[in-house]
Every structure is written in C-alpha cells, then in structure tokens.
Chain A
Amino acid sequence: DGGITQSPKYLFRKEGQNVTLSCEQNLNHDAMYWYRQDPGQGLRLIYYSQIVNDFQKGDIAEGYSVSREKKESFPLTVTSAQKNPTAFYLCASSPKGARPPYFGPGTRLTVT
C-alpha cells in the first residue's frame, strides 16, 4: 500500500524540549511539505522540499527545522524557540511537475 505515514498520531512534550515529528512516504514523490493547522484556521506552510538535500522556508518557519537526506523522509523538528508549538501538524507530498499534494494523517502535538 502506497501512502504517507506520520508517527506518532499524538505527541506530548514539556515546554523547552525539542521534538521531532516523523514523515515517511513510499509514493516515490519528489516534493514534500510540512503544514501547521490551528483550530478554526486553514493550513499554513512551514517548510517544503522539492528535491533531496534541498528545502525552503514557508510562511511560518521560525522555530522549526527540517532535513531531507532521503527522498522518502522529511522529519520536522519543533524547537524550544517556537512560541506556540501546540497544533496539528500535517505532512504532504507530491510528484514531479504541477501536481497537487497528498496529505498524511497528521500528528497532534501538545506542549505543556
């Protein structure tokens, strides 16, 4: 079965700790993305990567970091510098060319 896997589904952390969210895809897609969703709001782009070893900041990159060492994987680290880290985080991927992204099931992060 091809798809996008995000783990875990729910994540709890203490304030001041860094946390890394996993995103893996076996769709052979070139591009991968991270979005953040807050209650009652649309999705906002954090980072995106169109090829391995390259990534660009989205609209709300402050306090986040990413890596793209393998085509299948695009982990997101939420650092202690992120002021309001509690949110629903969505990973997406898309094939080469002008094609819409497909989304994973999301990880709900709660920081207390």
Chain B
Amino acid sequence: GQQLNQSPQSMFIQEGEDVSMNCTSSSIFNTWLWYKQDPGEGPVLLIALYKAGELTSNGRLTAQFGITRKDSFLNISASIPSDVGIYFCAGPGNAGGTSYGKLTFGQGTILTVHP
C-alpha cells in the first residue's frame, strides 16, 4: 500500500518559535489533509489542500501542497503551549484519486512546546 513519511518524528521547541514539518509520498496525491490530535482524543482537521501549489492558512497555521503532488508542508508560527500534540498528514488511499474511503495517514509528528 501507499505510505506517507512525516518528518521530523518529534520536535521540542520553546514557546514563540516557529515550527515546520513535512510529509512525502512516493505516489502523487490530489488532496492533502493535515490533522492535529490531542492526547487521548480524536484527530481534528486543520487544513485541507486540493490543488498543487496551493498555500492555505488557518490562523497561525500555513500548509502548502507541493507542486510535484508528492509532498506537503505545515508551518506553525509563534507556537504556544496549546499547540502540543501529534500532527498527521493524510491523503486519499487511491493515488491520484479523491475518494476518502481509504485515507492513508503518515506516522505523525509529535510536537512539544516548552513555556
């Protein structure tokens, strides 16, 4: 099956710092999704990207759909303690498709923010 590789696996930063993480695939995707999961809770959708080259913001979060359609990036500016959690990228399991029936997830980036 397809795999999504997230980098880095974990990050330890000081409050106020900016954060960058990325997700790569060996197959093309027509959609990239970024979710955040708080400890013991279900993931929450942060940003959805539908077009190669697209740059979308949600508050302090900015995500980009790579022009090769094989990668995506998530940036968090001026981090705060509540940014702590696991960030997942995801995309439709059928490469190049748009069906969410078989969503593929990356393994996640664990973010720790020190006050």
Mark A residues whose CB is within 8 Å of B. 4, 6, 31, 33, 40-45, 48, 50, 56, 58-59, 90, 92, 94, 98-106, 108
Contacts and interface: CB of A to CB of B under 8 A. Distances in A.
B48 to A, nearest CB: 5
Interface stretch (B14-22, B75-83, B102-110): B102-110
B88 A100 contact: no
A102 B90 CA distance: 13
Which residue among A43, A94, A105, A106 has the maximum number of chain B CB atoms within 10 Å of its CB? A43
A45 B41 CA distance: 17
Contacts of A4: 42
B56 to A, nearest CB: 13
A40 B45 CA distance: 19
Contacts of B99: 98
Which size class do B's interface residues fall under?
20 to 34
A42 B101 CA distance: 16
B107 A42 contact: yes
Contact of A102 (B1, B40, B45, B88): B45
Contacts of B7: none
B103 A42 contact: no
B33 interface: yes
A59 B42 contact: no
B85 interface: no
A100 B42 contact: no
Contacts of A6: 42
A59 B102 CA distance: 8
Nearest to B89: A42
A45 B40 CA distance: 18
A42 B108 contact: yes
A43 B101 CA distance: 14
A103 B107 contact: no
Contact of B33 (A31, A44, A58, A100): A100
